Chains A and B, each alone.
Chain A
Amino acid sequence: MQTVETVIETNELAQVINCWLSTLSTDNRVLFLRRYWFGDAVYMLANECGISANKMAGRLYRLRQSLKKALEMEEISL
């Protein structure tokens, strides 16, 4: 059940996420969506990039922190 408020909140959040995605390099954008939209496993992404799963997790962590910062800059709290 969606109210007007939640739809507006979702749209605002979506706009910020889209805007933030546009600031990323193609590789980072693809990585973020492969993990959090398509649900690919960390180790699988790590294999594809030829790096360790630990390093991949670090890269994803930095991306999440970057998104968090972008949301905070827009004063969006979750």
Chain B
Amino acid sequence: MKEKKIFDALTEVREEYIEEARTTQLKRQPKGWKKWTAIAACAVIVFGISGVLLFQNFFPFGGSTGSGGAGHGENSTFMSYAGPVFPLTLSKSDNSITANRSVLYDFSLPNEDSIRVWGANVRDRYTLSNSSTEEKIIEAIYPFAGSFNQLHEQMPAITVNGQEALPTLYAGGYSGGFTGVYGGNDPDASFNILQLDSWEGYKSLLEDGHYQSSAFALYPVLSQEVAVYTFTYFEAPDEYDAATQAISFTIDPDKTTILQYGFNGGEIGVDGFRRYSYFVPNGMSRGKRGNDTKLLIVIGDDITDYTLQGYKNGACERGNELEGVSATVTRQVRVMSDVINELIDDFFDQYGDGNSLAVSQDMFLGAVSEFMVQYGVLSESVRDRYQHGMVEDIISEANNLKRVFYLKFEVTIPAGGSVPVTADMHKEPSYDFACSSSDNKGIQGYDMVTRLGSNLYFDALTAELTSTDNIEIVRQNYGFSLSQEVTKVELDPTQEHYYLEIRLVEH
């Protein structure tokens, strides 16, 4: 994927450049340049979708160059935290069911072309025993940390009694929070993403059971009717590469909420003034609609009047107007979920780079709707990050941000008998960015929790490492010793958390 390539390459940016960027103040333009005239009373926002989308997966969400290396307990806090391996649980607690658990980390090379180990193949194996005198049919639930955009790689394969199970997937909401801008000092600001960066974060999220029960609840349905203004048939003089079309109007913010899709800039005035603008696709005349979907969704009272104005570039200022910029605007009244569903299609057409959703579109629409209701303009507590109503942001972040997924499946255990249940998965490591100045560069972290979110009683717990030729252990609390060939250990099931940090060895 394009953004993955750029992201990987950006991690190799020279450290002195990163340090320079971290410590250098940008030069201020001479004050005479400022022309705060007509827009003086407005917040002017440029929606950086083209740039942000390209690089979004690569930003140090939930960390920074300075956040790696430090530990809590004796393990490290990584800039990118993959989340722990969670224990199996049951949909209903049952005292007659107990479990033996063994966790195997396999550090073999992914394939013969691979030059390094990245992540581990994890086999999380349980033997569920039924001490009662009757057969038990139970619903087992296996949680795992992940995101929709990486679900193909992250989804565990479940087997019951050696047979492949066909579990039902459920998705919890976004697992992290929000924070202020880098260097800012507003504790209540929510402009940036703050993903969980420790197992304790997951503990806070999951220990009261509310997150998991919400994951199994129905998604909100956006059934309200909305007015949709769609822009098509774009025209602009050929000689203006960045010709811009703006639409402006005034709303009562208490009665009207605007969502936008496909726009690049905007202004929000305290008096209800709104201006949304986009670069005319390709900056040249187009007799028909291109691949650029641009629309405004009006929730609540409709806009009564609007003005269209062309500009020579993205600066929608007096004196910069341009004749010959036009578009056809059509208005339809539609059900909101239908519109969002189409925008999800469009989003993946434009930005998906050929990747498909790993879940049904209905499920993803539900997750997007939930995200919008929890954090977006439909929320009672709109996060600063989403205050401008960019639907792309909502879809993108519902897709990319981490959450806890749950696989639910049935297990039949005979009276007095036992049944093996296995979850096999590839677990990405936690790590610090290669371009950071962290002492933890090159170290891969793997966390496991033993009881968090589980109502099962575990009467034994073991852990094992295999294919360790390419790794050395840096930090751990398991008791492994590769030099003494201790690769299998018995653990205390009542200890909440185990960690393993490894680095690759050169042969």
A residues within 8 Å of B by Cβ?
1-7, 9-11, 13-14, 17-18, 21, 26-27, 29-31, 33-45, 48-58, 60-61, 64, 78
Residue B26, interface by CB 8 Å: yes
Q: Which of A9, A27, A40 contacts B5 (CB 8 A)?
A: A9
B1-34: CB near A (< 8 Å → 1, else 0) gives 0100110111111100110111011111101011
Q: Which of B20, B43, B115, B183 contacts A4 (CB 8 A)?
A: B115
**B12 lies within 8 A of A18 (CB):** yes
Q: 8 Å CB contacts to A: which residues of B180-212?
A: 181-184, 191-192
Tell me the bound Cα distance from A27 to B60 in angstroms: 22
Known contacts A27-B26, A48-B25, A49-B29: A21-B181 contact under CB 8 Å: no
**B12 lies within 8 A of A10 (CB):** yes
Q: Nearest chain B CB to A49's CB is how many angstroms away?
A: 5
Residue B143, interface by CB 8 Å: no
Q: 8 Å CB contacts to A: which residues of B255-276?
A: 264-265
Tell me the bound Cα distance from A14 to B110 in angstroms: 24
Show 29 residue pairs from A and B whose CB-CB distance is below 8 angstroms, ordered by the A residue. Answer: A1-B110, A1-B111, A3-B113, A4-B113, A4-B114, A10-B8, A10-B12, A13-B6, A14-B13, A26-B20, A26-B24, A27-B27, A29-B17, A33-B18, A36-B58, A37-B60, A38-B21, A38-B59, A38-B65, A39-B59, A39-B61, A43-B44, A50-B31, A50-B34, A52-B35, A53-B265, A56-B46, A57-B265, A64-B50
Q: In the complex, given contacts A33-B17, A49-B27, what are 14 additional A-B residue pairs having Cβ atoms less than 8 angstroms apart?
A: A1-B110, A17-B10, A21-B14, A29-B21, A33-B18, A36-B10, A37-B21, A38-B21, A38-B64, A44-B184, A48-B25, A52-B35, A56-B46, A58-B315
A-side binding surface: helix, strand, loop or mixed? helix
Tell me the bound Cα distance from A64 to B279 in angstroms: 16
Size bracket, chain B contacts: 35 or more
Residue B99, interface by CB 8 Å: no
Q: Which of B17, B22, B46, B183 contacts A42 (CB 8 A)?
A: B46
**B115 lies within 8 A of A2 (CB):** yes
Residue B442, interface by CB 8 Å: no
Residue B253, interface by CB 8 Å: no
**B9 lies within 8 A of A51 (CB):** no
Q: 8 Å CB contacts to A: which residues of B220-254?
A: 242
User: What residues of chain B lie closer than 8 Å to A53, measured between beta carbons?
Assistant: 44-46, 265
Tell me the bound Cα distance from A27 to B28 in angstroms: 10
**B10 lies within 8 A of A58 (CB):** no
Q: Which of B18, B65, B114, B435 contacts A3 (CB 8 A)?
A: B114
Q: Nearest chain A CB to B57's CB is how many angstroms away?
A: 11
Q: Which of A1, A41, A60, A78 contacts B118 (CB 8 A)?
A: A1
Q: Which of B5, B17, B118, B183 has the most CB of A within 10 A?
A: B17
B-side binding surface: helix, strand, loop or mixed? loop
Tell me the bound Cα distance from A78 to B253 in angstroms: 42
**A2 lies within 8 A of B24 (CB):** no
User: What residues of chain A lie closer than 8 Å to B192, measured between beta carbons?
Assistant: 39, 41
Residue B83, interface by CB 8 Å: no
Closest to B31 in A: A50
Total contacts A-B at CB 8 Å: 161
Q: 8 Å CB contacts to A: which residues of B112-159?
A: 113-116, 118-119
Q: Nearest chain A CB to B101's CB is how many angstroms away?
A: 27
Q: Nearest chain A CB to B401's CB is how many angstroms away?
A: 14
Known contacts A3-B114, A55-B315, A60-B48: A10-B5 contact under CB 8 Å: yes
Tell me the bound Cα distance from A57 to B99 in angstroms: 57
**B26 lies within 8 A of A13 (CB):** no
Q: Nearest chain B CB to A35's CB is how many angstroms away?
A: 7
**B13 lies within 8 A of A37 (CB):** yes
Residue B75, interface by CB 8 Å: no
Residue B84, interface by CB 8 Å: no
Closest to B244 in A: A54
**B14 lies within 8 A of A18 (CB):** yes
**B13 lies within 8 A of A18 (CB):** yes
**A50 lies within 8 A of B9 (CB):** no
Tell me the bound Cα distance from A59 to B176 in angstroms: 32
Tell me the bound Cα distance from A35 to B27 in angstroms: 15
Tell me the bound Cα distance from A31 to B45 in angstroms: 18
Q: Which of B26, B34, B60 contacts A39 (CB 8 A)?
A: B60
Known contacts A4-B115, A48-B28: A13-B5 contact under CB 8 Å: yes
**A30 lies within 8 A of B21 (CB):** yes
User: What residues of chain B lie closer than 8 Å to A45, measured between beta carbons?
Assistant: 26
Closest to A25 in B: B27
B397-425: CB near A (< 8 Å → 1, else 0) gives 00000000000000000000000000000
Tell me the bound Cα distance from A14 to B55 in angstroms: 14
Q: Which of B46, B264, B314, B435 contacts A43 (CB 8 A)?
A: B46
Q: Nearest chain B CB to A68's CB is how many angstroms away?
A: 11
Tell me the bound Cα distance from A15 to B6 in angstroms: 12
Closest to B56 in A: A39
